Structure 1
Amino acid sequence: MTTPAPHIEIDGAPATDPALLASVLTGYGHFTATQVRDGRVQGLDLHLARLDRANRELFDAGVDGERVRALLRGALESAGRRDAAARVYVYPDLAGGTRTVVTVTEPYTHVPTPQRLKSVVYGRPAPHIKHVGGFGQTYYGEAVRREGFDEALLTSPDGEIAEGAVTNIAFWDGTSLVWPSAPCLHGITMTLLESRLESVRRRVARDDLPGFRAAFVTNSRGISPVGGIDGADIELDEKLMDRVYTAYASVPWDEL
């Protein structure tokens, strides 16, 4: 079955004008990604704050949250959707301003299958920004998938764990929920869970892995347990995952 093409708008207009398209081919910009259900998203304030922070750092200007909401609503309406996977990108305008791009695609149905990770030595540039141009993440993600893994686990040369290629990761030692403290993108799903589950951030390295009883990964698509890292199995802790899923289900859905 063929997946429908995404609906794309640039500043509220269909992405068909070559002048508009040229403005988004720079490879420099930032974005946020979310799942929309019945015209609502979880953590809307966090998504808008993420866009605003990154825009101030990259382009010396804030982002109008109400405009972003309007652009999302317009794109959803044009696509004839109330449920979708949506992204908002901000790119530099060739005239010196910025362009806001909204993409709307099929909603993602998350199935929390245990993920098998392989560690690689790589760190994202400016990891605190959800930026475009993630060649390294894609390169390593595809490389480990060809070896039969589901996701790449990004580490420093001395083995400190930061994040997955497109996920955050948390570990459970039987007492504490631990998020790695290495520089990484603090994802929206991670942030929402941190505010609802008691947890800590501290250094985690590959050598520490035998001391953990369970782990899970998060991103805009959902939450999945980790079934293994570098070929070593990790047990599924159903009680932990029930707590995590319950905490995430308690997050309210905000109207766009």
Structure 2
Amino acid sequence: MAELNGRPVGPDALLALGLTNYGHFTSMRVDDERVRGLDLHLARLARDCRTVFGAELDLDRVRHHVRHAAGDKAGSFVVRVTVFDPGIDIGHPSGADSPDILVTIRPAAAFPLAPLRAKTVRYERDVPTVKHLGLFGSLHARRSAQLNGFDDALFTSRDGLVGEGGTWNVGFLTGAGIVWPEADVLPGVTMALLQRLAEHTVAPVTVAEAQGAQAAFATNAAIGVRPLSCIDDARMADGDPRLTVLREAYRALPGDRL
């Protein structure tokens, strides 16, 4: 299902997405008509719209379009809000300053998800603090990981430090508690909520330190907290009870109504 500015969208209106892929988005999981971290998702859209288009986004309009698209849909599903300018000229992107709002809905995966097998891949996203539409590098890295027998890629920098996953943040459990990588990564909404819930530190993490952690987990709005079963050839304790505690604490968050 897809609606552009609250109306059914046809293929012509989506040409700009296919031909230029310039814009930004957020994806939020809806469970029983509630969204965890809704305020953070909206703040991200507003912040990224200023960066990408130099424009102020009407957040009341965003919520209206999301509610319209969701209708009376029950259960769990994922809503993606994509902000882009259909009139963008690839030769003059500086003129793209009138973004529209595309709302799409897809099914949500059932919890809990199977542990994730991650392969380290050297890659750093462009403008990493923005959740933008430039997914080629991330998907190419994911494809490479899958062709090598893994589920997804875990990005590392030129300095050999761990950053983030293909479309997720990563956290590590050590004897000292939860460690989030200090790196240029997307400030994930789910990561921010988990940081509110549990004591943690933020520090540089080398690949060797990541592989030597007692446990590791991937996190985003769609998957919540998902254990990693390995990083490259290093096995991780995906059954660590602290992962269950963290996952259940996150799932217990009441969320906000759309």
What TM-score, normalized by structure 1, do the two folds share?
0.91
Query: Paired residue for 2:160?
Result: 159
Task: Return the letter of the residue paired with 2:78.
Answer: A
Do the aligned partners of residues 17 and 231 (structure 1) sit closer, same or farther apart at CA in structure 2, a change above 3 Å counting?
closer
Cα deviation, residue 130, structure 1: 0.7
- Choose which of 2, 15, 29 in structure 2 pairs with 1:8: 2
Residues 1:235 and 2:229 aligned together: no
| Structure 2 residue matching 1:51: 3-state secondary structure | helix
Q: How does 1:1-256 map to 2 (within 5 A)?
A: 7-16=1-10, 18=12, 20-25=13-18, 26-77=20-71, 81-83=73-75, 84-94=77-87, 96-222=97-223, 223-256=225-258
| Structure 1 residue matching 2:197: 3-state secondary structure | coil
Cα deviation, residue 234, structure 1: 1.2
RMSD: 1.6
Cα deviation, residue 23, structure 1: 4.2
Distance 2:145 2:16 in 1: 33
Distance 1:180 1:233 in 2: 19
Distance 1:171 1:17 in 2: 42
| Structure 2 residue matching 1:101: 3-state secondary structure | strand
| Structure 1 residue matching 2:246: 3-state secondary structure | helix
Query: Paired residue for 1:4?
Result: none
Cα deviation, residue 34, structure 1: 1.1
Cα deviation, residue 239, structure 1: 2.1
Cα deviation, residue 237, structure 1: 4.6
Distance 1:250 1:181 in 2: 27
Distance 2:6 2:16 in 1: 14
Of the structure 1 ranges 193-202 and 33-42, higher mean CA displacement relative to structure 2 is found in 33-42
Distance 1:40 1:105 in 2: 16
Query: Paired residue for 2:93?
Result: none
Q: Structure 1 stretches of 5 or more lacking a match?
A: 1-6
Cα deviation, residue 151, structure 1: 1.2
Distance 1:86 1:241 in 2: 26
Task: Return the letter of the residue paired with 2:24.
Answer: H
Task: Return the letter of the residue paired with 2:79.
Answer: A
User: Is the CA contact 1:115–1:228 (under 8 Å) kept in the aligned structure 2?
Assistant: yes
